Structure formats: C-alpha cells, structure tokens
Structure 1
Amino acid sequence: MAAPSQALGYVPKYAAGFTHFDYVNPSAPKGGRLMLSAQGGFDTLNPFSLKGDKADGVEALTLDTLGVNSEDEPYSCYGLLADDMQLAADKLSMRFHLNPLARFANGRPVQAADVVASFNTLTRDAAATPQYRLYWADVKQAVALDANTVRFDFKRRNSELHMILCQLPVFSRQWIPAGKTLADMVLVPPVGSGPYVLSQYQLGKNIRFSRNPHYWAANLPVRRGMFNFDEVGYRYYQDETARLEAFKAGEFDVSAENMAKQWARGYLGAKFDDGRIVKKALPHQRSAGMQGFVFNLRRQQFADKRLRQAISLAFDFEWANRNLFYGQYRRSNSFFTNSELAASGLPGPDELKLLQPLREKLDPAVFGPPVEPPFTDGRYGIRRNLREARQLLFEAGWRYEGGKLVDHRGRPLRIEFLTYSKVYDRVASGWQQNLAKLGITLTVRVVDPAIYQRRLNDFDYDMTVVVYAASNSPGNEQLDFHSCQAAQTPGSQNWAGLCDPAVEALLPQFQHFTSRQQLLAASHALDRVLRAGYYLVPNWNLPYHRMAWWNRFGQPARLPLYYSPTTWAIETWWEKK
C-alpha cells in the first residue's frame, strides 16, 4: 500500500503505488553495526525537555512521526504512522487516520489518544523546549475522533501547518505517569514505535540502539530499504583531536568533518592510502541557511546598528580562509545561503509589495542590492574596513580614552564570545587583534557543552556562534528565529533577541501563502531586512559534505539532494558481508 502524500506548492514526486524512495536500495541486507561519534556528553534520555544535555539518537531512532519528508524534494510529506491524511476544504483543520498495524515497541497499538497526548505534552508542558509551542502555535486543539483518527483544529489558516504536523513525534501516552511531567522523565526514554529501541547507555560516554526485529513499518514504501543495521551507537568525545584519532583507530565508523584543518591535514596516512578508510567530498543541494557570530541584542551595548556593523567590518574572513581553512569555504551572505530563497539584485515587484508599506520602519539599504558581508583583498587587507569601522563608532558616540573605546560614561567596550569548542580560539585570534586596533576587547570563553546549552537557553552571552538552519521551504520556524514572542521565551532559537516591527510584519507571510512564488518573495524580503540589520557576523559554508568512513559499507547508487551526512548513513547504508 502506498503512503498518502502532501506537497507544499507542487505535485509530489512519488505517486500512489510507489514502492520505495529513489535514493535507497530496497534490497539492502539487514545486519551489522554502525558506530558514530557525538560531541561532549549527555545527562538525559528525554529528547523533549528544555533542561539537560540530550542523548543523540533517541528521538530519531525510537520515535515514528505521522509522516516523513522525502530527501529529494523541497518539501513533501508521505504518511508513516498515518495511512491517510486530509486537509479540510476550508483549510482550518487536518485529519490523520492511523495505520491499524502501527505498534509501539512494547506491542501496544498506536492510537489517536497517543497522538493527542504527544501533541499536548510538547505544546503545553512547561518543561518542554518552547520550539514546539512556537512551531505549532496556530493549532487550537488536537481531538481524537475515534481510536485511529485524530483531527487538528487550526486557529487560522496557515499555509504549511498541515505539513509540519506530519513531523509530530508520537510516543505512548503511558510514558509519563499521571501526576508527572516531562521534567520527571530524565532517565526514562519515551516509548516509541520507531525502528530501534534503546538497549544500552553510559551517561556522558556512549549510547546504543538495537533494531526492533518486529518493527511494524519495515515494509512500508517510506521505510523499505532503510534502517538496515542491527545496532546503531554513539561514542562521546570531549574534543575534536581525540575524536579524529578515535576514528582512525576504529572506535567508530563514519566521520562527518566540520573542521577544515582536520580535513586537510588529519585525514591522511596508510589507512587512507590503501583504501581501508574512504575519504570523499559529497555534493548536496541543501540550503546552507546562516551560520554566524550572533549579537545578543538583550545587551544594551549592541542596540546601535553602527556598532554591530563596525564589529563585523573587523572580521577578516578572507584571511581566515587562507590561513586557517585551507581555502575550503565560501562566505555565507544570506539567511538562505545556497538557495533560490536568498535575495539578490534590486527588490522585484513581489518583494516591493511587501516592503513598501513598511518603508518608514526600514533602513533605506533594504531597497537597494542586498547587504553583502565585508570583503578584504590581498593589497589593502583589513585597513580600509577598520577605517570605515572607526568612523561608524565615532558616529555612534564612542570615543578613545587611554587606548580603549569608551562610551559617553567612560565605560570600555568588552565583549565575551561564548563557545563550547576550542576551534574558535584560532578563528577569533585575528579578529581579536583587529578589534583591539579599534579599542575593543574580545575574550573567548570556552565552557562545557552542558553549561553552554544552559547559557544558550537563558540567553546568557554577549556573542556566540549559531546556525539559522533553513529548509527549502521556510515557514513557522521563522517565528522561532525572529519573532518578539520568541525573543522573550527562554530556550527559543531567537538567539539575537530580535524584536523588530518590520520583521514582525513580515513573519506572517511564512504562514499565509498560496504559491511557491509568494514564499520566495517573502523569503527575499525578510532576507534583505535581516542582512541590513547586521544582527550577526556571517560565517562560511560548503556546497558539499566532508565524509570519511571505514570501507565496509554498502551505499545506494543515488545520492539524495537534501540530506545530512550521518542521517544518510543511518537510514540508507548497510554492512557488506
């Protein structure tokens, strides 16, 4: 039986009757083991609570969702737990019928009451991370119509709400006992219906999952040829050097490398030369979103855009790319980098229709070519940028006193950059020197990953590095990134603390559109406004994944278009006999 499908603004690629996704091998053998690496440690098996350092794999491997996204389409949903889904004619409700074969790992059937309990827990439990509450904010209620049918009623029409409900992770309503909350389920993993069950763990060190031999969905079109390993595990490492050496020693099987220096100089030796370890750069078409050093606007010192622009001018990406990154990276220039969603050229008619009513609230730069990150050339280096930065600081009311930049009350400008990785010590070194020439003191504070996450949740930082992840069909997550409500919600992804009336006016466009063209116009308009605000110092991106693996795995002949490297390995690889 083919899964039902929905697509946002286009006809789904896979028609009724499809047997498997094109990027899997439907005949892949089952068996073997896949070990992966993880950073830092973990102290909770609960993937949904705001507090705690969460274990990798629990949600992705043990919990099924109502539907799954195809990785070779911009945004389609094919039924998993749901064997039928219908959007109401008035677009004010969405109905899912559950597959009667669906079973939790304990053998109990997955029912509508479990879906309702999962939704209510994630959106109403005060201990839950707020991203769910913001993501599904336009859902008024979830109602169990019968044992296998659930209906979600909407507060208002929302163009993608029926699609993002497909992503709802469903756990047994019996997981959380009466009188308890998510906060009480620290070391009690959720009871799910996914392809794996948690089999072993040592807090902070490792965690392993065993394939459920009775997995109810193994032969569905959306699961055929997938999740082939009998065991999937994660080993935790405190720093990147230890992780790389452990990989080369065979402690884990697949490495998705994030550090340019490691990729250029660490993945070498006899095991690579003789083919025991494979090293490849694999192309993808994922939107790179935006990674950057974000300013926390909750700190009064960052209120003036001219200061933020001056600090951005002092970061010499070209120097870092030559001297630290081996020329591997491209500068990120958009909140939708590497996609058609990024703004370019002058605003078109569809964009102006959104921007013109906001003209009084917007920087005039929004109506010109989109703001690009500063650039340095080999001849003049950073000097021109620092001169421009110095002028901006003077215009903003800063002055020099005793070799330091001070405000009108004589207070020097000191900035703490918070991170959990020592790699940013190297990246920040040149930036610190350039900022010192402007009289600004930048210090780098490296903390344990658990402490870092806690401070991130509490917005307790001056600057830090974040990733605004972008799908190829942006929607409600933009509210979590940029809305005033999210700025005031601990644990949200509005890391900048942005609460801007023009941005607030644009965000509903990501909830109410009827065509791909309208979504593109909204993305271009928002991108222009955010880039003109200098809310972060843009980092860098790659149009490919850097991967290495021990040469004992089979892989499908075709790569998906929009994939993450480790997810691709978990879902579609198999161990060769």
Structure 2
Amino acid sequence: MAITRRHLLQSGAFAAVAPALASGLPAVSPAQAQTAAGEPVWRHALSLFGDIKYPADFKRFDYVNPDAPKGGVARMIAIGTFDNFNIAVAGVKGTIAPAAALINETLMTRSQDEVVTEYGLLAESASHPDDFAWVTYRLRKEARWHDGKPVTPEDVIFSLEVLKKYSPMYASYYRHVVKTEKTGERDIKFSFDAPGNRELPTIVGELQVLPKHYWEGTDSQGHPRDISATTLEPPLGSGPYRIKEFVAARSVRLERVKDYWGANLPAQIGQNNFDEMRFEFFRDNTVALEAFKADQADWISENSAKQWATQYDFPAVAEKRVVKEEFPINDSGRMQGFVFNLRRDQFKDARLRRAFNFAYDFEEMNKQLFYGQYKRIDSYFDGTELASSGLPEGQELQLLETVRDKVPAEVFTTPYTNPVGGNPEAVRANLRESMRLLKEAGYDVRDRKLTDAAGKPVSLEILVQDPSGERIALFYKPSLERIGVNASIRIVDDAQYQNRLRSFDFDMIIDVFPESLSPGNEQREFWGSQTADQPGSRNTIGIKNPAVDTLIDKVIFAKDRAGLVAATKALDRVLLWNFYVVPQFTYGFSRYARWDRFSHAEPLPKYGHSGLPSLWWYDADKAARIGKRS
C-alpha cells in the first residue's frame, strides 16, 4: 500500500505514513462473525496482515495518554511554501501539506502500534466479500463538518470523483475504483474493476473526504467556488483543527475545534492536545534552524547530517533546554537517488546509466559531507524485509522465470551490489569500469568530452530545489566530469521545481520513493508503464518495462504474505539491474530537536516514529523551568 498523502512527505514536515498492503484476510471479531446468514459482515477495522489488536469495543489505543492535558501552542516548521488550500489540485502549486491532515479526515485511520491496521474514523465500519470485488463503508451518524452539517455519502462520492479528476496521484491510486454509489442512508459502495486486489478495500479507507455542499456553494464575496482551481479561502473540514489565520506563503495558524465531533472516538482519545498549532514555512532547512535556535519554533526535523553533527552546539542544548533525539523508523523503507529521465534519448542505454553509478563515490561523500552517518542504499525497498539480496530462489525465482526473456541476465546470475569507493585505488578502478561500459555502449572521449556514436557530447542538467540538494549534486559533478560528462546544476524555487517535475522537464533530479512494509497499487504510479507519460505522476523516471508491469501485478494480487514478499523482491531485482537511478543513501532514524516544553506517553508506538504532533502535549511545568518563549 502506498505511503499516502505524498505531499506530506515532500513538505519536510511531520510525515504521515499510511497503512500498507499486507497479506492475510481481514480479521473479524467474534461478535461480527455471528452476523446472520446472508447479511454483510461489518468490520470495525481492516487489517490485511490478518490480525487486529483492538476489539470492536476498545476504548483507546494503548500508546496514548487518555488524561493528556489540552492546551498550549505548538509552533512547527514546514519546508517550502504554499499558495493554495485546495487539496484536489495539490501538486500544481504549493499547499499547506502539514496542516491539511488536521483539517480533512479520512474514512479510516491507522493505529501506530500495528503494522497495517485501520480503524473507523468518519466511517464506523466496512464490509467486503472474500474476493475483494467491492467494499461498502458505513458513515458514523455523528460525523459533522465544522459548519454543523452531517458528513454524507454524497460527500464521499463527490470527493472521489473530483480527486480522481484533478489529481494525477489520486487518479492513479484509485484507478481501479470504477463505480461509487450510495446504497443506504449512510452507506457508500465502491466497486472495483476486478476481484482479487486485496489492497483496494483498505486504500479506499484512506480517501480524504471533502464537503460537497461547500464546494458547490459560494464564497464570502458571492462567487461560486471552483474545485478545479487553487484558492486561499480557508477550507471547510471535519477534523480536529481549522484554520484560524494565515499569511500566504509564510505561515498558517490552526485552532483546535472545541466541539469537534470525533473528540471522544476511541481512535482519537489522548490525541490532538494543542489548542493551537502554528506552521512557519521556510525555503530551506538552514534558515529554519536559525529560527529554531532563536526560539521561534518548538520543533525541528533535521534532515542534514552535517547540521545535526555541527550546528546543535548552541547554549540551550548545553543547558538542556533544547533536547536532541533520534526516533527509529520501523514502518517504512525508501529508495533515494539521482534519477535519470528515460524520456531523454541519451539515457535509454542501461550501460550508460550503470556507468554513472561507477562514477559516484558515495564513501567519500559520506565522509566529507555527512560525517559517516549514512549507509548506501542497495534496494528499492531498503530498510524492510522486502529488500532483495543474494540470488533469487524459491517462489521469487519462479516469478522471475516468467519474465526471464525481458530482464537482464544478471538478475539470475549475480547478486546486485553498488560499487565501493572511498580511496584512490577503488575510485580509479570504478572509473575504469565506467569507461569500459561506455565504450561498450558506443561512447568515446574526444578532447576530454564524452561523445555518443554520432559525435554528440553527453551533457546533462541536475535540477534541484534547495541548498541541501545542490550540495549533493555539486559533489557528484566532478566525478561525472572525470568520465567526460558535461554536468551543470540548476537550483530553482519550489513552484518552478514542481512545474518542471509535473511536465517531466529535467535531465536528472534527486528523488525519494518512500515504501511501506507492504507495497501495493502505488507501485504502478512509481514504475508502471501507464503512468510514464501522465503529467504529475510519481513515475519521474519514465519507466515503460513489461517485466516491471508484470511483477507489479504479482505484488498487487499476491494471495498471502509469502507471495507478496517474493513478488516484491523479484520486482526489486529487476528495477536494480536496469539501473534506473544512481542510489544514494539513507539513515534509519528521524532526527528531531525540541525546546523542552512538551511530554508524551511512554513508550511511543513502534510504528509512529516520533509521534509528533498528535501524541504530545504542552507540559506547563517543563515550560516554566526553561523560561518563556522568545
């Protein structure tokens, strides 16, 4: 299953990792199993791993503090900017990604101490047949918008239609939902294009629901609202927070909804504890850190190894008024790398792409730029049990045999490894292998410039959107020049970067593909042929590979966990041996620094990272000890 709300991950703020495709049948409680013959089995929760921890009558999640005090202000940092509150056209221009999830709600919400289990939020229950051909969700009768109107099946149907129509991400993610209909006073049935896709009932539960009556109404000036256009009119939501005030492109201030309809839901108890949440937007993390040091923000998520190692030595840290902490990442993996745009003819030869990998000296970059904190990525599912290793065997090998004629021979004969540098001898050996591959592919070096068979010099522009990306690209640039590639680097603002990505107007970028513990339909958007030419899709590479398409289907339609793992490992191998990216690096922890004014329940849930901000609360005693905010 996808890491949903991709814009949250890209924002650099508190990342939300959605539940993921697993393998077993959704569990049913004993009470539900007693449903009369012929009647639907209504489930209070869905888990594709087969186990549901909390029964239908559970009171709260184990990891929350039900007595957490309500109050205080949390000031948070978001990287980027915004000029739009309409999530239906998110990706066209910047939105308030980190705040949107607190305003809008989904049908279901995940627990953070289970791998992939969702419990009812806007919906009280769900029902689907054994073949997963459809799912019906039943809304809670008490679910309300902030204007007091009930959340209706019409709202849900409207939301799916407009999100699929105007958002490439949602269009791909929900492409298998072919019919949505109201089947009862509070029931909505989603029919799928084929049975057997186990993930679909659950990912429908991730749908963000929008108010139809609001979007079909008029604004304060009497103008009709337009769901297809960007807007800075504060949206109507159903969640625990609403927008109180904002400064376009700079800040958003949320206030807790005092009469929030879902405050006493078991899945919400002990959460959403701050009276106000403020998001300050910064163009880059360097400036954000200075604001944090000046006590203009309470938390900062640090993505720079250099800054983490060198820039947190200010007095408040020594005085323990600022706490540095790392939280293990247990529920996801990732691929991050220099991404080739295969829509460019010069990148179509896999030997050239592989040569670029031999030119990349990760070990030296890690030493010089990252203080040795990172490890090299060697899988598209790095950090999970789904990462391939060694040679394929068993069920994985059987799956690969079905596409043997469409994949590189090395998939069956050679374990994938990245070249290792870090010293002059290794670097020279890697560069020699790089040049050998290029010569084999028909390239030559003339006047220290790499040229193709037609004599055309090989050149590329690495497009980046922030100083941290520029720093990484600048380190790679001399290595490419050593094999004769004319490499330039261009840094552009966030809006221009997103527009160029949407139209695939780049040679090479640095991209991140987050992966859940159980991948599913989102793999089509990442690597599927049907999304390669779809503007705004996540297939930034432009992969059109029938073997990849076949293996994606094996992942999606896996009948059990073992089959899912085997299919994902097979897919991983084929992606790796096609050298679609130059893999970069990863770190198994989230780094946070905070002013010590807050507390959380112990221990934090295994799959919740830091638990920020939902599981924390303002601690007045701690705040008094460290002094007033600046």
Both structures adopt the same fold (TM-score exceeding 0.5) = yes
Which aligned segments of 4 or more residues in structure 1 are displaced greater than 3 angstroms? 178-181
Does 1:4 find its partner at 2:47?
A: no
Does 1:500 find its partner at 2:540?
A: no
User: How far has the Cα of 1:181 moved from its partner?
Assistant: 4.3
User: Of 118, 138, 141, which aligns to 2:159?
Assistant: 118
- State the partner residue of 2:371: 326
- State the partner residue of 1:444: 489
Deviations 1:497-539 (A, max 9, x none): 0000100111112321221111111110100000101100111
- State the partner residue of 1:573: 616
Residues 210-359 of structure 1 aligned to structure 2 (within 5 Å): 210-359=255-404
User: How far has the Cα of 1:227 moved from its partner?
Assistant: 0.8
Q: Which amino acid letter does the alignment assign opposite residue 363 of structure 1?
A: P
Contact 1:104–1:172 (Cα < 8 Å) also in 2: yes
User: How far has the Cα of 1:286 moved from its partner?
Assistant: 2.7
Deviations 1:430-473 (A, max 9, x none): 32212111111111110001111111111111010111110111
TM-score (normalizing by structure 2) = 0.88
Residues 169-188 of structure 1 aligned to structure 2 (within 5 Å): 169-177=208-216, 181-188=226-233
Does 1:161 find its partner at 2:200?
A: yes
Q: Which amino acid letter does the alignment assign opposite residue 93 of structure 2?
A: G
C-alpha separation in 2, matches of 1:381 and 1:14: 54
- State the partner residue of 2:94: 53
- State the partner residue of 1:30: 70
- State the partner residue of 2:19: none
User: How far has the Cα of 1:371 moved from its partner?
Assistant: 1.5
- State the partner residue of 2:566: 521
Deviates more, 1:38-47 or 1:545-554: 38-47
Does 1:18 find its partner at 2:58?
A: yes
Deviations 1:86-117 (A, max 9, x none): 11244211011111011111110111111111
C-alpha separation in 1, matches of 2:243 and 2:470: 37
C-alpha separation in 2, matches of 1:160 and 1:370: 31
Residues 340-419 of structure 1 aligned to structure 2 (within 5 Å): 340-378=385-423, 380-419=425-464
C-alpha separation in 1, matches of 2:450 and 2:424: 28
User: How far has the Cα of 1:312 moved from its partner?
Assistant: 1.1
- State the partner residue of 1:39: 79
Deviations 1:384-404 (A, max 9, x none): 110000000111111111110
C-alpha separation in 1, matches of 2:590 and 2:468: 19
- State the partner residue of 1:133: 171
Q: Which amino acid letter does the alignment assign opposite residue 134 of structure 2?
A: S
C-alpha separation in 1, matches of 2:228 and 2:96: 15
Q: Which amino acid letter does the alignment assign opposite residue 212 of structure 2?
A: R
- State the partner residue of 1:73: 114
Contact 1:45–1:58 (Cα < 8 Å) also in 2: no
Q: Which amino acid letter does the alignment assign opposite residue 36 of structure 1?
A: M
C-alpha separation in 2, matches of 1:192 and 1:453: 26
Residue ranges of structure 1 left out of the alignment (5+ in a row):
none
Q: Which amino acid letter does the alignment assign opposite residue 185 of structure 2?
A: A
Q: Which amino acid letter does the alignment assign opposite residue 151 of structure 1?
A: K
User: How far has the Cα of 1:185 moved from its partner?
Assistant: 4.5
Q: Which amino acid letter does the alignment assign opposite residue 48 of structure 1?
A: A
Contact 2:464–2:470 (Cα < 8 Å) also in 1: no
Contact 2:132–2:200 (Cα < 8 Å) also in 1: no
The secondary structure found in structure 1 opposite 2:313 is coil
User: Of 509, 512, 516, which aligns to 2:557?
Assistant: 512
Residues 531-570 of structure 1 aligned to structure 2 (within 5 Å): 531-565=576-610, 568-570=611-613
User: How far has the Cα of 1:191 moved from its partner?
Assistant: 2.1
Deviations 1:390-429 (A, max 9, x none): 0001111111111101112221111100011112333233
The secondary structure found in structure 1 opposite 2:604 is coil
Contact 1:362–1:529 (Cα < 8 Å) also in 2: yes
Deviates more, 1:461-470 or 1:145-154: 145-154
Residue ranges of structure 2 left out of the alignment (5+ in a row):
1-30, 33-42, 218-223, 621-630
Contact 2:78–2:281 (Cα < 8 Å) also in 1: yes
Contact 2:351–2:441 (Cα < 8 Å) also in 1: yes
Q: Which amino acid letter does the alignment assign opposite residue 214 of structure 2?
A: W
C-alpha separation in 2, matches of 1:82 and 1:40: 33
Structure 2 CA distance for partners of 1:9 and 1:259, relative to 1, 3 Å: same
- State the partner residue of 2:506: 461
Structure 2 CA distance for partners of 1:405 and 1:479, relative to 1, 3 Å: same
The secondary structure found in structure 2 opposite 1:528 is helix
Deviations 1:524-570 (A, max 9, x none): 010000010110011111111111000000112112222354xx212
TM-score (normalizing by structure 1) = 0.96
Contact 1:84–1:97 (Cα < 8 Å) also in 2: yes
- State the partner residue of 2:8: none
User: How far has the Cα of 1:13 moved from its partner?
Assistant: 2.0
Contact 2:63–2:603 (Cα < 8 Å) also in 1: yes
User: Of 234, 237, 240, which aligns to 1:195?
Assistant: 240
- State the partner residue of 1:142: 180
The secondary structure found in structure 2 opposite 1:140 is strand
Deviations 1:354-374 (A, max 9, x none): 110111111011113541222
C-alpha separation in 2, matches of 1:181 and 1:161: 29
Matched-pair identity in %: 39
Contact 2:328–2:609 (Cα < 8 Å) also in 1: no
User: How far has the Cα of 1:197 moved from its partner?
Assistant: 0.5
Deviates more, 1:187-196 or 1:396-405: 187-196
Contact 1:117–1:173 (Cα < 8 Å) also in 2: yes
C-alpha separation in 1, matches of 2:109 and 2:180: 20
Q: Which amino acid letter does the alignment assign opposite residue 286 of structure 1?
A: D
Aligned residues between the structures: 572
Q: Which amino acid letter does the alignment assign opposite residue 143 of structure 1?
A: E
C-alpha separation in 2, matches of 1:515 and 1:489: 31
